Chains A and B, each alone.
Chain A
Amino acid sequence: MSDLNAFRQETRDWLEENCPPAMRVSTKGGDEMCWGGRNYKFASADQQQWMERMGAKGWTAPDWPTEYGGGGLDKAEHKILKEEMLRINARSPLDSFGIWMIGPALLKFGSEALKHQHLPPIIRGEIRWCQGYSEPGAGSDLAGLQSKGEDMGDHFVANGQKVWTSYGDKADWMFCLLRTDSEAKKQMGISLVLFDMETPGVTPKPIKLISGSSPFCETFLDDVRVEKDQVVGEVNQGWTIAKYLLTHEREMIGGMGMIDIGSETLGQIAAKAMGVEYGRMNNPLLRAEVAKWEIDGACFALTAERVTDEVKSGHGVGATSAMLKYYGTELNKRRFETLLKLNGTDAMVWEGEASNEGWLPRTWLRTKGNSIEGGTSEVQLNVIAKNILGLG
């Protein structure tokens, strides 16, 4: 215990000395995220410094092994680090698909050589990753993907088209699913490969969304050379890793990552927006909508808590990531529909400073994707029906 106390003190001192004051202030929206990468334009020198200092210490990936540059912290220490960062309201130093997705997959399935090659630059924020999964003809039916990797002996040649590549135009490397055996049953002929986005033949093109922003790309692959030593796990065994990553992604999207609307509850926002007379908010139908959302929101938060507690106490998992993803994303969509109504015509304003450049309507439109990305709500319901309820 005294070891942990000492760790807490050291952590507190280190953060005090190394976290720039500007990195201890939260702002609404995406501008406080830091993605890193070869061509990343930092929002400020403070942001860069904060990422580099944390990266050098391995604390951008606190629980990864030190031999790959990670923090090497155990669960208790990791918790202390989170608490100490929260205490000073420190921002996340690095937001990265490398840390969230391909890193954990490499740790679990990758060769030593791949781990040593890719994990350190992920941790230091030097290489930014994107995911090449979906294709125009393979959305919900991901295993039906058609982009091919032709075996040329010492390398593969990739041809095809990927879509919904998050920040494909800004990423340095891609982890990508290719069909490497077209004879096998569809799940059995898929490999997970890694390549540099600067490889000749790789062309990402941004897709403009209904929200007006372009966080996703379609990525064309024309005779792209992929080295054989960049296959994660065994050739043709990529589906297992893909499924692992999908579960991971589901937890990230559905779970507790509800879009931040500030420190006020929906009820408080509603009361201010509509006014309260004799204890009750004006507009009874909207009041009921807000209250029903808050009741469901409370029940959902308690369920996320219960699932975590059940895992911790070894009682087995009561609900799955599919259920949390399904319900959480539907809740988030409902919440933004309600927020829109609470703001009336103000919520329709798309540009200009008064509307924070249309933060509300743009975020509202973005939430429509929550129940599509990482497996649609309908796919989650299929997963529950088949895997939990045993309905075939």
Chain B
Amino acid sequence: MALVLSEEQQMLKESAQGFLAEFAPVAELRKQRDAGSETGYAENLWGQMVEMGWAAILVPESYGGLEFGHVGMGQIIEQTGRTLTASPLFATAILGVTAINAAGSEEQKTELLGAIAGGEITTALAVDETAHHAPTQISMAATKQGTGYSLNGSKRFVADGGTADKLIVAARTSGEAGDMKGISLFVVDRTAAGVEVERTAATDGRNYANITFNNVEVAEAALLGEEGQGYRALNATLDAGNVYLAAELLGISQESFDRTLQYLKERKQFGVLIGSFQGLQHRAADWWSQVELCKSVVLKALQAMDATDTKVPALASIAKAKLSEVAELATNEAIQMHAGIGMTDEYEIGFFIKRARPAQALFGDNSYHTDRFALLSGY
């Protein structure tokens, strides 16, 4: 498949660009932060996104969705990287839909996917238990109790964990930390008895939560997929999550580049534009080249997901590793080249680095994915 966007995908990209610039620019993020918003996003924003069909893009047509595909959704997410727009798109319309679609029963898909497409529910994926991504190291226990299960343990830094209606929780029904076997997925109400949610305040102003489960009783119907076989669906969901985080980091890298390039053409020192200095020109040219590489790998990874290619895991790790590296370069260079003004809260460039780092760390950073890529490649 050619590495270019189709006309429909290009149109979606442009309409997302227009919408986000108007209704959810970086200024909106500042507003939410300064107001101490619980959700981290404007309440009516999600409603507008649902109305435009964005929540339904990945939902199969048979469950009331648009089935427009990953390349299309990737364009929207890339644009949210440019505007630093927080919304339930990632945790609900991507992670929730992917996990439920991969593991859910017919009943669960009909009920939950339809509700997501219609904007009736939001979800969050609760995987990691420490500050480092380690999906096989899950030790949270799901113990059989009557016909249902009792959940005990805790989850860290769950994206949208403070607001989601349904938590998709990875817990262990057998085996021990380190085993791929024995991991099961459960759909749990955030407000169920025994669920304790503690909202954290992170650098990007988004709502992440540390969640403790104390003897949380769930029915057998809460099990997503087969008992003990949840790792496959979890892995597929994490792959998708990482490809979309890479797409968002692409938007962040491009926008911080564009803003910095503009600044190099405006700011004068020693009586000349600072963009006339070769010391900065070469760094800008290298940065631009790196971003070109990023565009290619993100598009390829999105296309591979649409084609359910066997290379998706490797491509997801390549994309996340490369984009984490380049976003780090991009956001650091952005501040250094803006210099003093880049250190002020008043100027927007500093918001990009504060969103880039959590996006890099979530579901595995550069080092995690470089290691995973090597393992997948047989070394």
Tell me the A residues contacting B by CB distance below 8 Å.
265, 267-268, 270-271, 276, 279-281, 287-288, 290-292, 294-296, 298-300, 302-303, 305-306, 309-310, 312-313, 315, 318-319, 323, 326-327, 378, 380-382, 384-386, 388-392
Q: Is the interface of B mostly helix, strand, loop or mixed?
A: helix
**A312 CB to nearest chain B CB (Å):** 7
> What A residues does B379 contact at CB under 8 A?
267-268, 270-271, 276, 280-281, 287, 290-291
Q: In the bound complex, do residue B289 and residue A327 qualify as a contact, i.e. CB atoms below 8 Å apart?
A: yes
> What B residues does A280 contact at CB under 8 A?
371, 374-375, 379
For the complex with contacts A291-B379, A310-B4, 17 further pairs of A-B residues with Cβ separation under 8 Å are: A267-B378, A268-B379, A276-B379, A279-B375, A287-B379, A288-B367, A290-B374, A295-B373, A302-B3, A309-B3, A309-B4, A313-B4, A318-B295, A323-B289, A326-B285, A391-B281, A391-B284
Indicate whether A300 sits within 8 Å of B293 (C-beta atoms), given known contacts A267-B374, A267-B377, A378-B282. yes
| Complex Cα gap A312–B2 (Å) | 9
Taking the complex as formed, is B297 at the interface, i.e. its CB lies under 8 A from any CB of chain A?
yes
Taking the complex as formed, is B74 at the interface, i.e. its CB lies under 8 A from any CB of chain A?
no
Q: In the bound complex, do residue A385 and residue B281 qualify as a contact, i.e. CB atoms below 8 Å apart?
A: yes
> What A residues does B278 contact at CB under 8 A?
382, 385
Indicate whether A299 sits within 8 Å of B318 (C-beta atoms), given known contacts A291-B370, A291-B374, A294-B377. yes
Q: In the bound complex, do residue B284 and residue A299 qualify as a contact, i.e. CB atoms below 8 Å apart?
A: no
> What B residues does A276 contact at CB under 8 A?
378-379
| Complex Cα gap A339–B42 (Å) | 53
**B160 CB to nearest chain A CB (Å):** 29
**A209 CB to nearest chain B CB (Å):** 27
Residue of A nearest to B373 (CB): A291
Taking the complex as formed, is B300 at the interface, i.e. its CB lies under 8 A from any CB of chain A?
yes
**A283 CB to nearest chain B CB (Å):** 10
Q: In the bound complex, do residue B370 and residue A288 qualify as a contact, i.e. CB atoms below 8 Å apart?
A: yes
| Complex Cα gap A271–B318 (Å) | 19
| Complex Cα gap A252–B370 (Å) | 30
| Complex Cα gap A298–B304 (Å) | 14
Q: On chain B, which size bracket covers the interface?
A: 35 or more
> What A residues does B300 contact at CB under 8 A?
302
Taking the complex as formed, is B170 at the interface, i.e. its CB lies under 8 A from any CB of chain A?
no
Q: In the bound complex, do residue B374 and residue A389 qualify as a contact, i.e. CB atoms below 8 Å apart?
A: no
> What B residues does A315 contact at CB under 8 A?
4
Residue of A nearest to B286 (CB): A381
> What A residues does B280 contact at CB under 8 A?
391
**B314 CB to nearest chain A CB (Å):** 9
Q: Which of B285, B321, B370 contacts A385 (CB 8 A)?
A: B285
Q: Which of A279, A288, A312, A381 contacts B281 (CB 8 A)?
A: A381
**A302 CB to nearest chain B CB (Å):** 4
**B127 CB to nearest chain A CB (Å):** 22
**A380 CB to nearest chain B CB (Å):** 8
Taking the complex as formed, is B275 at the interface, i.e. its CB lies under 8 A from any CB of chain A?
yes
> What A residues does B261 contact at CB under 8 A?
389, 391
> What B residues does A327 contact at CB under 8 A?
289, 293
**B293 CB to nearest chain A CB (Å):** 4
| Complex Cα gap A380–B288 (Å) | 12
Q: In the bound complex, do residue B373 and residue A306 qualify as a contact, i.e. CB atoms below 8 Å apart?
A: no
Taking the complex as formed, is B130 at the interface, i.e. its CB lies under 8 A from any CB of chain A?
no
Q: In the bound complex, do residue A302 and residue B296 qualify as a contact, i.e. CB atoms below 8 Å apart?
A: yes
Interface string of B294-327 (1 = CB under 8 A from A): 1111011000000000000000001001100000
Taking the complex as formed, is B265 at the interface, i.e. its CB lies under 8 A from any CB of chain A?
yes
| Complex Cα gap A303–B374 (Å) | 21
| Complex Cα gap A380–B3 (Å) | 25
Within 8 A of A (CB), among B325-379: 367, 370-371, 373-375, 377-379
Indicate whether A299 sits within 8 Å of B293 (C-beta atoms), given known contacts A309-B3, A378-B282, A385-B282. yes
**A12 CB to nearest chain B CB (Å):** 27
Indicate whether A313 sits within 8 Å of B371 (C-beta atoms), given known contacts A299-B297, A318-B292, A390-B265. no
Q: Which of A271, A306, A312, A392 contacts B275 (CB 8 A)?
A: A392
| Complex Cα gap A290–B299 (Å) | 24
Indicate whether A299 sits within 8 Å of B296 (C-beta atoms), given known contacts A306-B3, A309-B3. yes
| Complex Cα gap A253–B370 (Å) | 29
Indicate whether A299 sits within 8 Å of B322 (C-beta atoms), given known contacts A310-B4, A381-B286. yes
> What A residues does B375 contact at CB under 8 A?
279-280
**A182 CB to nearest chain B CB (Å):** 29
Taking the complex as formed, is B264 at the interface, i.e. its CB lies under 8 A from any CB of chain A?
yes
**B139 CB to nearest chain A CB (Å):** 21
Q: Which of A267, A288, A302, A391 contacts B264 (CB 8 A)?
A: A391
Q: In the bound complex, do residue B289 and residue A391 qualify as a contact, i.e. CB atoms below 8 Å apart?
A: no
| Complex Cα gap A313–B9 (Å) | 15
Residue of B nearest to A304 (CB): B296
Within 8 A of A (CB), among B241-282: 261, 264-265, 273, 275-276, 278, 280-282
